[in-house]
Amino acid sequence: MDKEYQGTNKLLLGIVLSVLTYWLFAQSLLNMAPDVQVDLQISSGILNTGISITSLFSGIFIVVAGGLADRLGRVRTTYLGIVLNIIGSLALIIANGSVLFILGRILQGISAACIMPATIALIKEYYHDDIRQRALSYWSIGSWGGSGLCSFFGGFVDSNFGWKYVFVISIIFSIVSGILIWKTPESKIESGDLRPFDWLGMFVFIVFVLNLNILISNGLLFKFSLMGSILIIVLLISGLAFFKLEKKIVNKFVDFKLFTNRSYLTAVISNFLLNAMIGTLLVVNSYVQQSRGLSAVKTGSLSISYLVLVLLMIRVGEKLLQKVGPKKPMILGAIISTLGALLMSLTMIESNYFMLVVIGYGLFGLGFGLYATPSTDTAVSNAPDSEAGEAAGIYKMASALGGAIGTSISASIYSAFKDYNLGALLGLWTNAAFGILALICIGFLLPNNKK
């Protein structure tokens, strides 16, 4: 690596554009789901799997990709992610059924897994002091801002040009990102500092999480069938095997000793639960289109309050962390985001429901913004220096898997009812339940320590 090199605005813009390929473009499917299902003529189960599988594969492979970036190089791994996004987006553009649709979504997930840890490592390596904090702020704006804008953006493009054009634009962003990052000096760990990777543990973990996602997405978890029974058996066996395997192996895929620190454990669990609430976007977007007759672009406009408040409150959460410690802003964030989901669940209200959605999305963004920085800081600061990269990878894996599983559960509950009002009500109550569980976790597990 070139220790004399200093990160530039050109590199930073390239990094932010690469991050947007997941948080803005891949996540836009949450608002375009009804049109995608009609266009591709796929079942609700396939649609739900395709929506959640991107976050799922991102969560599964993010720890692997972080290790790959250390070995292969952070710039090369970022380029690998960019190429995979281009291929995945092309698969979605030419898809005419379930096969290319699922393949494209999987490739987008692996792409995100490569880009996120590699670009964070590049910022850590090539930006320093106040400049690094500024760079990380822009990285966060790319992720949180992209997730806040994805619903409106997807709706606008879908309504005016068709949903596939979202991924045409994603390819353009990827190409521009690659051009901006070009000629950045490589950054990687010296070979003598590397540890062997737990490939067996990763494989067993993938089997476990994929089985869980398939069971949830297709409504088989609590429904007796031969296929469901087989998947449940495989789920139990792989889960038990993973737990026993990781206790014995020295170089673990997931080091359970990290979870002996209550603060780190709380940050990871609450991060998983609050990200599981992202299923609210899918339920509300689908409901207002299918039951209330809104177009995709009008549906997306309802969530602008989420975008604005999540960006504004990230810095507020940072200031609260510095003054009162992480527990209070994390609790406040969980309470406010839960209230947002409950407010949007009032589907029995006719005339003012859209106003409730706007306010609910605003509360959602406000809560997530308050929670984000204190939670991330808690996870990073309570991990050993020797395992900081792995600990950060597990933390990001929790958020991606939380989003995937939460979206699958919400979509399955919503699509299980012919009555859209009832399906949306129960789906949003489920999301509120995730927020309540996060609140309980933070309240009882996180020590009340100030910074």
The pLDDT of residue 13 is: 95
- Judgement on whether residues 212 and 64 belong to the same structural domain of the protein: no
Q: Is the pLDDT of residue 194 over 80?
A: no
Q: What angle do CA 231, 59, 51 make, to 5 degrees?
A: 70
- Judgement on whether residues 289 and 380 belong to the same structural domain of the protein: yes
Region of residue 219 (phi > 0: left; psi between -120 and 50: alpha; otherwise: beta): left
Question: Under a CB-based contact definition with an 8 Å cutoff, are residues 423 and 287 in contact?
Answer: yes
- In tens, the pLDDT along 365-387 reads 899 888 887 887 787 677 665 55
Q: Which of 416, 431, 422 is nearest to 280 (CA)?
A: 431
The pLDDT of residue 380 is: 66
The pLDDT of residue 216 is: 67
- Judgement on whether residues 234 and 278 belong to the same structural domain of the protein: no
Q: Which of 377, 373, 376, 379 is nearest to 263 (CA)?
A: 379
Q: Is the pLDDT of residue 314 over 70?
A: yes
- Backbone φ and ψ for 447, nearest 5 degrees, come out as -60, 150
Residue 95: pLDDT band with limits 50, 70, 90: very high
| Average predicted confidence (pLDDT) for the chain | 84
| Amino acid identity for residue 295 in this structure | S
Region of residue 183 (phi > 0: left; psi between -120 and 50: alpha; otherwise: beta): left
Is pLDDT larger for residue 45 or for residue 424? 424
Do you know the residue count of the chain? 451
- Judgement on whether residues 321 and 431 belong to the same structural domain of the protein: yes
Cα-based distances in Å from 98 to 81, 311, 393, 444: 23, 35, 31, 44
CA of residue 263 relative to chain centroid, distance? 21
CB atoms within 10 A of CB 386: 8
Distance CA 159, CA 154 (A): 8
- In tens, the pLDDT along 239-275 reads 898 888 877 776 666 767 778 888 889 989 999 999 8
- Judgement on whether residues 165 and 212 belong to the same structural domain of the protein: no
Domain count, the chain: 3
Eight-state DSSP code of residue 278: T
Distance CA 310, CA 250 (A): 40
Mean local confidence (pLDDT), 22-44? 87
- Judgement on whether residues 25 and 155 belong to the same structural domain of the protein: yes
- In tens, the pLDDT along 101-148 reads 999 999 999 999 999 888 877 887 788 766 776 777 777 778 877 877
- Residue numbers of the domain that contains 212: 198-252
- Judgement on whether residues 247 and 301 belong to the same structural domain of the protein: no
Distance CA 337, CA 355 (A): 17
- Judgement on whether residues 84 and 227 belong to the same structural domain of the protein: no
Distance CA 196, CA 192 (A): 11
CB atoms within 10 A of CB 246: 18
Secondary structure of residue 2 in the 3-state scheme: coil
- In tens, the pLDDT along 61-91 reads 887 787 777 778 889 999 999 999 999 999 9
The pLDDT of residue 85 is: 97
Question: What pTM was estimated for this model as a whole?
Answer: 0.76
Radius of gyration of the chain (CA): 21
- Judgement on whether residues 241 and 284 belong to the same structural domain of the protein: no
- Judgement on whether residues 218 and 93 belong to the same structural domain of the protein: no
Q: Please give the structure tokens belonging to residue 97.
A: 């059924």
- Judgement on whether residues 300 and 442 belong to the same structural domain of the protein: yes
